[in-house]
Structure 1
Amino acid sequence: MLTVIAKITAQAGKEEIAKQALLGLIPPTVAEEGCIDYVLHQSNEDAPIFYFYENWESQEHLDKHLANTHLVEFGKTSGEFLAGPAELILATKL
């Protein structure tokens, strides 16, 4: 199992827009083959910061997710409300 922690930072004042867009990624992602879970969190201390906690069956499943249409489309518009690209941490459960 591959775990991903994605740190995503919204532009100042655009936290709600970012939150709604990120929440919109959940339904199509959890329907993907190999997705074990895909859970969004928002920082209690710094509202513009969001985290996705994700578990995938394999690196191949994650790679397919990253190339999936809904994520590619999100990437085309996310510059309007995100401060930059997501920071990803990949880890393997021991």
Structure 2
Amino acid sequence: MSYPVFAEIPVKPEYLDDAIAAVRGIVSETLAEDGCEQFLLHRAADGSARLFIYERWRDRAAFEFHHAQPYTLSVYKSYETWLAGPVTITELTDAN
């Protein structure tokens, strides 16, 4: 069974373009990870400085592996300056 998650990332407006570029910069490496099934970046349609990532992993271990990778840790290091608040990660389940 897959492990889907939804991340909401509130960014300081002056860093929004940098944050988008940073996440886009790790998409190909992330999708190449053995356990990654889907990794989609979106921005808020209302124009606010919020990013959203829908991720689906083979299992929680694959998700945790992703968050331990140097390219992911590099983005999180930048978040220390860029974020307007905490990242919210919501675990999802099928509604069937």
Scaled by the length of structure 1, the TM-score of the pair is 0.89
What does residue 23 of structure 2 align with? 22
Unaligned ranges ≥5, structure 1: none
What does residue 79 of structure 2 align with? 78
Shift of 1:37: 0.6
Unaligned ranges ≥5, structure 2: none
Looking at structure 1, the residues matched to 69 and 85 of structure 2 have their Cα atoms a distance apart, in angstroms, of 20
What does residue 4 of structure 2 align with? 3
Percent of pairs identical after alignment?
A: 26
What does residue 90 of structure 2 align with? 89
Q: Secondary structure of 1:46's match?
A: coil
The answer to whether the 8 A contact 1:15-1:47 is kept is no
Scaled by the length of structure 2, the TM-score of the pair is 0.87
Which segments of structure 1 move beyond 6 Å, counting only runs of 4 or more? none
Count of aligned positions: 94
Looking at structure 2, the residues matched to 60 and 79 of structure 1 have their Cα atoms a distance apart, in angstroms, of 25
Looking at structure 1, the residues matched to 39 and 19 of structure 2 have their Cα atoms a distance apart, in angstroms, of 16
